[in-house]
Chains A and B, each alone.
Chain A
Amino acid sequence: MSEERDRVQAILTEFQNEFAPYASLSLDGASLDNVESKLREVAELKVRHTGKKSPISGAMNLVGKVAPDERAGFGQFVQSAQKEIASKIDAVEKTLNEVIINAKIESERLDVTLPGRRPRTGHLHPITILRQKIEDIFVSMGYAIEDDREIETDHYNFDALNIPEGHPARESQDTFYTTQGFALRSQTSTVQIRAMERRGVPIRIIAPGKVFRRDTPDMTHVPMFHQIEGLCVDKGITMAHLKGTVTEWLKRLFGEDTITRFRPSYFPFTEPSAEFDFSCFKCHGSGKFEGDRCRPCKGSGWIELGGSGMVHPNVLKAVGVDPTVYSGFAFGFGLERMTALMYSIDDIRHMFENDVRFLEQFK
């Protein structure tokens, strides 16, 4: 029995001698090639010491030579020697593999801060963006979107809007005329007339569109710009509905805390007339922003936006609507001015220069 045990012990010792260089392997600074060749050596060691033809596997054959009552003990002894060999090799294999995998991972590490690969995205014009937002709000409030001609007759641009010949608003030098005597519409109010002729009343529309005025371009003037006109005509419509509607859409655009202010004014196509302001979207009406005078509202807390009023009876009569039965409100405002205020754009001419450095800021 002790002879057999000695044989096993000798096998073990031989393994331990052979394994010694790997038992205390120092891999610090070892190259990948080096580690891989060590792994190959260990694999070879594994074949020699754990395979079916390995000495320790052969040692199992010695069990028969051991006295029957000692066989169980001897078997266990061989098995534990086998396990020791296998586990030592596995452990070093694992270590080496880990080093290799880590090295690979390290070598394939990516710079995740490099830009993603994507074609440049274009940008919608800020006027389009704002128009679409406002259209969405009004459609959700039950309004239809309308537009119509940009070159109009005096009838639609003036007469039907209660601006008869000789009226100061008509005689002013604001309107472009074609050589045939047609007017470039100077306000989107023309669509009030066109839409009421087409749809009749009751009616609820907004009409976004281009308008033209004979202003020489400068920082705050352009000869072409965009307006949105609103019109609501029905039985029983009052100025309270005008105020409520204007307040509601401004709240939806600028937030629940937005409030509005209506001031008496004068427009030929409305009576009574009002200009409307809303509490500044930046300073929320305080007039101060981060300790300084708020820029969009010039410190007043209010942003002056547009004109409005109850549709003048002459306008209703012009489209065959009885002003004693129907009443309505209308309002209008300019998109360029609003955009300029929202983004603190100091020069309104940028809107029509199409400088990409300008356009690409509106994402």
Chain B
Amino acid sequence: MNISYNWLKDLIDIEMSADEVAAQLTRVGLAVEGIHPHGDDFVLDIDLTSNRSDCLSHLGIARELQVINNSKLIINNYDAPSPGDPNLVNILDANLCNRFTARIIRNVKIGPSPQWLVNRLEAIGERSINNVADITNYVMHELGQPMHSFDLDKLSGGRIVVRKATPGEKITTLDEVDRVLDETMLAICDAEKPVAIGGVMGGLDSSITDSTVSVLLEVAYFKRENIRATSRTLGLGTEASYRFERGVDIENLITASNRATELICELAGGKADDFVDVYPNKFVANQVASADISASVKRLTGLSFETGECVRILTALGITASDDRKTFSSPTWRHDIAIEEDLVEEVARHAGYENIANELPPAYGAGEYQKTEPRKKRLRENLADMGFDEAITYSFIDTRQDGVFENIPGLLNEKLEDKYITLQDSVIDGALRMRPSILPGLLDAVRLNLNFQRRDLKLFEIGKVFAAQTGEYELPNEREILTLVVIGGEISEGKAVTVRELDLYDAKGALEAALEAVGVSNADFTAAEAKHLRKGQTAAVLVEGSRVGYIGRLSDDIAAGYKFKQPVYVAEVDLQAILDMESTPIAYRPLSKYPAVTRDVSLLGDRNISFAATRQAVTEQNFELCRNVSFVDVYEGKGLQDNERSITIRLEYRSDERTLIEDEVEALHKQILSHLEQKLAIKPRF
């Protein structure tokens, strides 16, 4: 809001410069964001908080300066009202319109405003229209009270009826828009029809024109919540509605009306006539109890202020104390003083927050991270060490992604008609769905990076995914998951070309390491299918027998949709489920004193016989001396049939009691191999 320094000086005696005023106002919570020279004036740009509607005028700001400067407001007495015909105004809904004053001014000559008025308005960024419109605008900025002037001759019956609109009732407002009202809105009507939307905007037909000679000046007070609702419903916010919905001073209506009347008579040659004030129920200001304001200030702020000093500040702000100084009455212009803490804030901000000490609270207990944080921290660091960059993508995604990706097991409730969580509206085109998967976001990130010639990428994200719960009124299911994406070649730091192309086993290795970082060293991967992954290159990830997600190569269809030309490997797992599991305990085994004997063997067989099956076929024989089966290499191609492959494994034989002899190992090894041949039809290639 713009405030003119010169204008302020009309309202209060101050010796301070504009800069000093700005600094002082900022100090008490009326943040001055800028000071702009305007001719011989300075304009202060004040960023008001939404509770201080009383400061939406020069008078309001002057009141704050009154406390700061210990000076008095310059009170101007305007002409006292002359009584008029009580039938001029009829309030039919006193709940929505609490007070309405009308003044008739005759023989008005509409014309341009004098230069001083044009200048004042221009200084605060307002455009001059004509003398009467300018005066109502001027008084609003001076006293904070919005008002509206009608052309009296255009009001049917020459009178005002304030009532709720009837559904479907129409009015063309000043901005030349046809608007349809409903029964929740307050209409200012003449004898027949609405001529203004109460507190929001006047009607075009009854507005002041160059030929207007008689003016009806409306200065009223409306129910705040109703103005806000009407303004929102109509999508119409005005300077008037802005003030009414935050609250104006109901006891200031006559002063404001008189001030405007005086100016209209002076500047537009009018003559004041009838005045009517309809005020059915007198406004009751908030009474705030405070048994010991000094103690409360001390309790909440640590400031030591005697009661007398507290009362001085409050009184200067218009908050009056009872004789025993235990009850305080809010002034009619303040709508934000309701409880004792509000009084404390008033005292504290004028006492100065800078005078509050800097102290640490007394020592308490030990701090603690979230239970899962140390493991998640390790997980992040581990992935980063393996070359993964951490991404954060938006939690809302396009509805076109519905059903494209297989989500983590158990997330979606397939029985529900509406499995997803959907936003009522979005600020990004199409992004209405709360993501059930992080993959769409990460793949978008991959696309963006490819567009900038970054083709070798490893990305991960840890975040929540969302799905509907069974009950309609149940809060959505939120699960924290981990997603990885791998594409391109392996980058060596400082080297321009990649070392080799990454493949599924890079993604798998990263996932295994990530799981190990959070305490899971026994994850299983089994061949599976998932709709977003290519058949034959997909694995389900199992931890302690339960499926926690999928890993594999992105399907050709989806890859083509993103115009990915290289294979993309992705993994998504239910991190929350994994973190909920007990981490594998460390089982220490004493170190053997005896050497191990290792035997590498290349086994030739059907290429669909998996390593896991091969290893299983060894370990299921339960030979105590065969301690380990590990993978060496696979070979397919030249020299082998199309359906064949050779897999080389290493068997480790060792005893804890003695050094094994060659013959013993050889016999055992043969026995193991013959079992493999029998069971899986794979036999040593050489």
**Interface assignment of A103: CB less than 8 Å from any CB of chain B:** no
Please give, as numbers and ranges, the residues of chain B lying within 8 Å of A139 by CB-CB distance. 367-369
Q: Are B492 and A240 in contact (CB under 8 A)?
A: no
Please give, as numbers and ranges, the residues of chain B lying within 8 Å of A359 by CB-CB distance. 389-391
B49 is contacted by which of A122, A260, A265 (Cβ under 8 Å)? A265
Q: Are B452 and A357 in contact (CB under 8 A)?
A: yes
Q: Are A262 and B366 in contact (CB under 8 A)?
A: no
Q: At the interface, is chain A mostly helix, strand, loop or mixed?
A: mixed
Q: Which residue of A lies closest to B345 (CB)?
A: A272
Please give, as numbers and ranges, the residues of chain A lying within 8 Å of B302 by CB-CB distance. 238-241
Q: Which of A16-72 contact B (CB under 8 A)?
A: none
CB distance from B405 to the nearest CB of A (A): 18
Please give, as numbers and ranges, the residues of chain A lying within 8 Å of B459 by CB-CB distance. 354, 356
Q: Are A223 and B476 in contact (CB under 8 A)?
A: no
In Å, the complex CA distance between A265 and B48 comes to 9
Q: Which of A94-102, A175-183, A287-295 contacts B (4 or more CB under 8 A)?
A: A175-183
In Å, the complex CA distance between A272 and B394 comes to 35
**Interface assignment of A261: CB less than 8 Å from any CB of chain B:** yes
In Å, the complex CA distance between A123 and B478 comes to 26
Q: Are A272 and B358 in contact (CB under 8 A)?
A: no
Q: Are B394 and A223 in contact (CB under 8 A)?
A: yes
A237 is contacted by which of B342, B361, B373 (Cβ under 8 Å)? B361
In Å, the complex CA distance between A269 and B448 comes to 41
Please give, as numbers and ranges, the residues of chain B lying within 8 Å of A176 by CB-CB distance. 396, 423-426
CB distance from A259 to the nearest CB of B (A): 9
Q: Are A120 and B387 in contact (CB under 8 A)?
A: yes
Chain A window 108-152, contacts with chain B (Cβ cutoff 8 Å), 1 for yes, 0 for no: 000000011111111111011000100100111111111101111
**Interface assignment of B466: CB less than 8 Å from any CB of chain A:** yes
Q: Are A144 and B368 in contact (CB under 8 A)?
A: yes
Q: How many residues on chain B are close to A (CB under 8 Å)?
A: 97
In Å, the complex CA distance between A151 and B445 comes to 25
Q: Which of B266-274, B377-385, B558-566, B653-661 contacts A (4 or more CB under 8 A)?
A: B377-385
In Å, the complex CA distance between A239 and B434 comes to 39
A132 is contacted by which of B377, B448, B468 (Cβ under 8 Å)? B377
In Å, the complex CA distance between A260 and B356 comes to 12
**Interface assignment of B219: CB less than 8 Å from any CB of chain A:** no
Please give, as numbers and ranges, the residues of chain B lying within 8 Å of A89 by CB-CB distance. none
Q: Are A263 and B390 in contact (CB under 8 A)?
A: no
Q: Are B454 and A244 in contact (CB under 8 A)?
A: no
Q: Which residue of A lies closest to B421 (CB)?
A: A178
Known contacts A153-B475, A312-B341: does B29 contact A352 (CB below 8 Å)?
no
Please give, as numbers and ranges, the residues of chain A lying within 8 Å of B339 by CB-CB distance. 271, 313
Q: Are A151 and B364 in contact (CB under 8 A)?
A: no
Q: Which residue of A lies closest to B357 (CB)?
A: A240
Q: Are A168 and B246 in contact (CB under 8 A)?
A: yes
Q: Are A122 and B345 in contact (CB under 8 A)?
A: no
CB distance from B512 to the nearest CB of A (A): 16
Q: Are B383 and A122 in contact (CB under 8 A)?
A: yes
Q: Which of B329-350 contact A (CB under 8 A)?
A: 336, 339, 341-342, 344-345, 348-349
CB distance from B67 to the nearest CB of A (A): 13
Q: Are A179 and B424 in contact (CB under 8 A)?
A: yes
In Å, the complex CA distance between A310 and B422 comes to 36
Q: Are A243 and B390 in contact (CB under 8 A)?
A: no
Known contacts A182-B475, A240-B301, A310-B300: does B427 contact A121 (CB below 8 Å)?
no
Q: Are A354 and B359 in contact (CB under 8 A)?
A: no
Known contacts A122-B389, A248-B360, A313-B339: does B421 contact A151 (CB below 8 Å)?
yes
Q: Are A263 and B26 in contact (CB under 8 A)?
A: yes
**Interface assignment of A245: CB less than 8 Å from any CB of chain B:** yes
CB distance from B427 to the nearest CB of A (A): 5
CB distance from A25 to the nearest CB of B (A): 45
Q: Which of A7-15, A79-87, A207-215, A340-348 contacts B (4 or more CB under 8 A)?
A: A207-215
In Å, the complex CA distance between A275 and B357 comes to 16
In Å, the complex CA distance between A178 and B344 comes to 39
Please give, as numbers and ranges, the residues of chain B lying within 8 Å of A178 by CB-CB distance. 421-424, 434, 476
In Å, the complex CA distance between A239 and B452 comes to 50
Known contacts A272-B301, A356-B457: does B427 contact A264 (CB below 8 Å)?
no
Q: Are B354 and A121 in contact (CB under 8 A)?
A: no
Please give, as numbers and ranges, the residues of chain B lying within 8 Å of A169 by CB-CB distance. 50
In Å, the complex CA distance between A168 and B445 comes to 37
Count of A-B contacts judged by CB separation below 8 Å: 267
Please give, as numbers and ranges, the residues of chain B lying within 8 Å of A237 by CB-CB distance. 361
Known contacts A214-B427, A264-B29, A356-B449: does B392 contact A125 (CB below 8 Å)?
yes
Q: Which of A217-264 contact B (CB under 8 A)?
A: 217, 223-224, 232, 234, 236-241, 243-245, 247-248, 260-264
**Interface assignment of A320: CB less than 8 Å from any CB of chain B:** no
Q: Which residue of B lies closest to A259 (CB)?
A: B358
Q: Which residue of B lies closest to A175 (CB)?
A: B424
**Interface assignment of B464: CB less than 8 Å from any CB of chain A:** yes
**Interface assignment of B589: CB less than 8 Å from any CB of chain A:** no
A123 is contacted by which of B50, B384, B452 (Cβ under 8 Å)? B384
Please give, as numbers and ranges, the residues of chain B lying within 8 Å of A135 by CB-CB distance. 369, 373
**Interface assignment of A273: CB less than 8 Å from any CB of chain B:** yes
Q: Are B300 and A272 in contact (CB under 8 A)?
A: yes
In Å, the complex CA distance between A125 and B459 comes to 11
CB distance from B374 to the nearest CB of A (A): 11
Please give, as numbers and ranges, the residues of chain A lying within 8 Å of B454 by CB-CB distance. 356-357
Please give, as numbers and ranges, the residues of chain B lying within 8 Å of A124 by CB-CB distance. 380-381, 384, 390
CB distance from A74 to the nearest CB of B (A): 65
Q: Are A240 and B370 in contact (CB under 8 A)?
A: no
CB distance from B337 to the nearest CB of A (A): 11
Q: Are B364 and A202 in contact (CB under 8 A)?
A: yes
Q: Which of B107-129 contact A (CB under 8 A)?
A: none
CB distance from B681 to the nearest CB of A (A): 39
In Å, the complex CA distance between A238 and B388 comes to 45
Please give, as numbers and ranges, the residues of chain A lying within 8 Å of B490 by CB-CB distance. 119-120
Q: Are B29 and A354 in contact (CB under 8 A)?
A: no
* Contact surface of B with A, Cβ cutoff 8 Å: 26-29, 31, 49-52, 225, 228, 232, 245-246, 298-302, 336, 339, 341-342, 344-345, 348-349, 353-354, 356-370, 373, 377, 380-381, 383-396, 418, 421-428, 434, 442, 445, 448-449, 452, 454, 457-460, 463-464, 466, 468, 472-473, 475-476, 478, 490-495
Report 27 cross-chain contacts, Cβ distance below 8 Å, ordered by A residue: A115-B492, A118-B492, A119-B491, A119-B492, A122-B384, A122-B386, A124-B384, A135-B373, A142-B364, A145-B369, A151-B434, A180-B468, A204-B361, A210-B395, A217-B427, A224-B396, A239-B302, A241-B360, A264-B28, A264-B348, A264-B353, A272-B345, A272-B348, A310-B301, A354-B393, A354-B445, A355-B452
Known: A144-B368, A178-B421, A223-B427. 19 other contacts (CB 8 A): A116-B493, A123-B389, A141-B367, A145-B368, A145-B373, A150-B478, A168-B228, A171-B228, A178-B424, A214-B425, A236-B362, A239-B348, A240-B358, A243-B356, A244-B357, A260-B358, A264-B349, A266-B50, A355-B448
